[in-house]
Structure 1
Amino acid sequence: MRKVLSVLLVALLSSCAKPSDGPSAGSIRDAKFPHSNERVPVIELANAPAVTAAQPVNPHANDAGLTALRGAYNQQRLRPGDVIDVTVLDTGEEGLFSSTNSKTLNLGRFTVDQSGYVSMPFVGRQRVTDSTPEGLQSRIVAGLKGSSVNPQAVVTVVDKPSSAVIVSGAVKSPGKVALTARKEKVLDIISQSGGASVAPPAAMVTVVRGKERASAALDRIMNDEKQNIVLLPGDQVMVDGDAASFTALGAFKSAGEFQFEPGKLTLAQAVGRAGGLLDDRADARNVYIFRNQLIQVPQAASGGKGPVTMVTTAKPVIYHVNMKDASSIMLMQLFQMQKGDVIYASNAGLVDSAKLLTVYQKVPNTAAAPLPGAGSAQ
């Protein structure tokens, strides 16, 4: 009888579903996308772009970031709210001021309205937004040509209350920050606002300039000078403090969600943050990283007309780590964790089998059925 039970138990262990805390290594390698029959790629850690010297990972290779807003900076460009003083001159004998003792006339001070216009005598309503004082002078002279023989104009900027940027979001002192002739950049303004209130990897910086906007991670701006663009009056700087984190599941000593610390986080450090593998449960040969990898894909314009543009999308990928292999430990020090990564340590096969055995052992004994005729022997 015991031999029969043993054979049955072996059959159950080999063919039946075994209790487990998560997917087995085999089911991970057979994983498919929910809405298609396409397999989710499983890549060995040694072949991961993040650790392959020949193909260094650059998640922003086709992402311009804040450089999309780079441009020539001119502190003197006029903005809504600026106050200008306009004086016109006419040196001709039959000019605009020939009947007066003075050849100079101060037209007065004018404030650029929210639409970017000013209305001046003799010249009329002029759009001045993004013009320089010198450029406006030329337009005033052109407007006076019909009534003046040899007109000249002088435009002086009296006040520039618009020469500031607005900083909001995850900074210690949000508000308006004045710009100076030093041509402040993004990091200068964030510093003047008390600095970001979250770790750089967790902070996303967005600059809004008119109808345009561009974003980049704060740590990217700190490491790439091209992203640290010069700000213009009227820009809005928004710091999103969504905390970046990764999750450790399965046979780790401290499974759970962990926020990124300031600076970069490697896979080796992430495993350490989770307390390492459980010696009596984990299969060190089968540790996996689940990631939504950002990739660039071509997208045609609406209706199939116009240029094809590259858009960023996420595609799931799984990386496999054999922590029994000493070389994997070195590779783990090169593999950089990303926001939203999930590390999963699978159980060893014997652990799940032992669970099933425990379940079998806990099945209560049942009373044996009475033999036929036993009740009539009385």
Structure 2
Amino acid sequence: MRKLTPFVFVAILSACARPSDGPTAGGFYSATDPNTGKKIPVVRLADAPMYPPGVTPLIYTASDPGLSLMRSGGFADTRLRRGDVVEVTILDTGEEGLFSSTQSKTLNLGRFTVDSSGSVTLPFVGRQRVLESSPEALQARIVSGLKGSAVNPQAIVTVVDKPTSGFTVNGDVRSAGRFPLTARKERVLDAIALAGGASSTPSASTVTLIRGKQRASAPLSRILDDASQNVYLLPDDQLYLGKDATTFTAFGAFKSVGEFEFEPGKLTLAQALGRAGGLLDDRADASNFYVVRNQPVYSSATSAKYPGAPSTTSRPAIYRVDLKDVSNLSLMQQFRVMDGDILYASNSGLVDFAKFFNIYQKSAATAAAPLPGAGTQ
């Protein structure tokens, strides 16, 4: 009987305080809601909602104007201003004119910048004041200046750069910078394309348009789906793309623990388990794998932030997955992971017991050797 006493003592202690890196399987069944104090039910995966409402976060509603708040007719002002760059091409259809000795009847004079005084100096026609005038007006001046040198001169003036009429794109894009507005009347999606595109998926990107003191935002996915959100840009508009990362976290006996990003509404529990590298064969209890989430609860009341949208609250929920049950593997391919979900793989009971037992297998620490000369007077 005396020989059994140490083992009984160890068993009692291990049941009371086993060393572990997280809650035991039994701890989930006694968990309570920290807000209400009520017990949180542990639901089998077979009884869990596979694709519950709210998997895709409520980002906007029909009553939310988004970027349509910034609607305009686009930038149509073609008047020339200081710093603008124009390209000039002249043509002569006559036989005895300016280009009679050349094979081509067309001459590209090059590109010219409107200087600080509002003028440009052009070959054949000299210095021309163009500030606040149109490209068509400059064409007429060039044609007039070429009379006498050309039989039937014509001119084409194209504005190739308007530094004072640009917009900027910053944030989660591949090539942030400032870009010119052209006669094509660039829209929001044009601007994002000029910046190399968004670095994140459309559902994880939010576009904010800043115009003076006005500001409006919309998910990139909404701009792609709704043409009214793809508004025209105006000079000095600022676009900022933010990243709304959707993540889940894996703890416990996984091969890879940490926070993982995913596209909302598309990641299944089976895929999430794969992201975490699967369970550790020598540690995990395959029959006690849990998903902990704040389950959204919708009510008939309307949201204060988005009038007309259903009000949402949340309550904690725990779903148990038994990987030893083959049917759970099929269910995991249907169960959608939500933003903020925690995946926890508990340790096998024998693993925690082995940790505790190892504590008592360690040899007692020996006293440190005395310092040299410590025992002498």
Q: 2:197 matched to which residue of 1?
A: 195
Distance 1:164 1:347 in 2: 59
Match of 1:59 among 57, 60, 78: 57
Match of 2:73 among 68, 72, 75: 75
Distance 1:243 1:255, change over 3 A: same
On the 8 A contact 2:187/2:232 being kept in 1, the answer is: no
Q: Secondary structure at the match of 1:214?
A: strand
Tell me whether 1:319 sits opposite 2:319 in the alignment.
Answer: yes
Distance 1:225 1:61 in 2: 14
Distance 1:32 1:249 in 2: 20
Q: 2:143 matched to which residue of 1?
A: none
Distance 1:26 1:364 in 2: 33
On the 8 A contact 2:74/2:185 being kept in 1, the answer is: no
Letter in 1 for 2:58: H
Shift of the alpha carbon at 1:176? Answer: 4.2
Letter in 2 for 1:331: L
Distance 1:197 1:58 in 2: 20
Q: 1:29 matched to which residue of 2?
A: 29
TM norm structure 2 = 0.58
Distance 1:68 1:242, change over 3 A: closer
Offset from partner CA, 1:226-260 (integer Å, 9 cap, x none) = 38822133454321136554332111122233344
Distance 1:252 1:239, change over 3 A: same
On the 8 A contact 2:289/2:323 being kept in 1, the answer is: yes
Q: 2:272 matched to which residue of 1?
A: 270
Distance 1:186 1:327, change over 3 A: farther
Q: 1:3 matched to which residue of 2?
A: 4
On the 8 A contact 1:163/1:233 being kept in 2, the answer is: no
Q: Secondary structure at the match of 2:267?
A: coil
Letter in 2 for 1:190: I
On the 8 A contact 1:288/1:345 being kept in 2, the answer is: yes
Shift of the alpha carbon at 1:20? Answer: 0.9
Q: Secondary structure at the match of 1:346?
A: strand
Tell me whether 1:360 sits opposite 2:360 in the alignment.
Answer: yes
Distance 1:292 1:175, change over 3 A: farther
Offset from partner CA, 1:88-143 (integer Å, 9 cap, x none) = xxxxxxxxxxxxxxxxxxxxxxxxxxxxxxxxxxxxxxxxxxxxxxxxxxxxxxxx
Q: Secondary structure at the match of 2:291?
A: strand
TM norm structure 1 = 0.58
On the 8 A contact 1:290/1:318 being kept in 2, the answer is: yes
Matches of residues 82-161 of structure 1 in structure 2 within 5 Å?
none
Distance 2:204 2:255 in 1: 25
Distance 1:181 1:65 in 2: 33
Q: 1:330 matched to which residue of 2?
A: 330
On the 8 A contact 2:71/2:232 being kept in 1, the answer is: yes
Shift of the alpha carbon at 1:327? Answer: 2.5
Match of 1:279 among 272, 281, 293: 281
On the 8 A contact 2:206/2:217 being kept in 1, the answer is: no
Shift of the alpha carbon at 1:340? Answer: 3.8
Distance 1:25 1:295, change over 3 A: same
What residue ranges of structure 2 are gaps of 5+ in the alignment?
A: 80-161, 366-377
On the 8 A contact 2:43/2:319 being kept in 1, the answer is: yes
Distance 1:189 1:336 in 2: 34
Offset from partner CA, 1:273-326 (integer Å, 9 cap, x none) = 222101121111221223345555657879xxxx89755666544333222222
Q: Secondary structure at the match of 2:4?
A: helix
Shift of the alpha carbon at 1:72? Answer: 9.8
Matches of residues 110-259 of structure 1 in structure 2 within 5 Å?
165-177=167-179, 186-200=188-202, 202-208=204-210, 211-216=214-219, 218=220, 220-221=221-222, 225-226=225-226, 229-234=229-234, 236-241=238-243, 243-259=245-261
Letter in 2 for 1:283: D
Q: 2:349 matched to which residue of 1?
A: 349
Aligned residues: 278
Q: Secondary structure at the match of 1:59?
A: coil
On the 8 A contact 1:66/1:215 being kept in 2, the answer is: no
Q: Secondary structure at the match of 1:70?
A: helix
Q: Secondary structure at the match of 1:75?
A: coil
Letter in 2 for 1:231: V
Q: 1:141 matched to which residue of 2?
A: none
Distance 1:207 1:180 in 2: 19
Distance 1:34 1:249, change over 3 A: same
Quote the RMSD (CA, aligned, Å).
4.3
Letter in 1 for 2:218: S
Distance 1:259 1:346 in 2: 22
Distance 2:208 2:39 in 1: 36
What residue ranges of structure 1 are gaps of 5+ in the alignment?
A: 84-159, 366-378
Shift of the alpha carbon at 1:225? Answer: 1.0
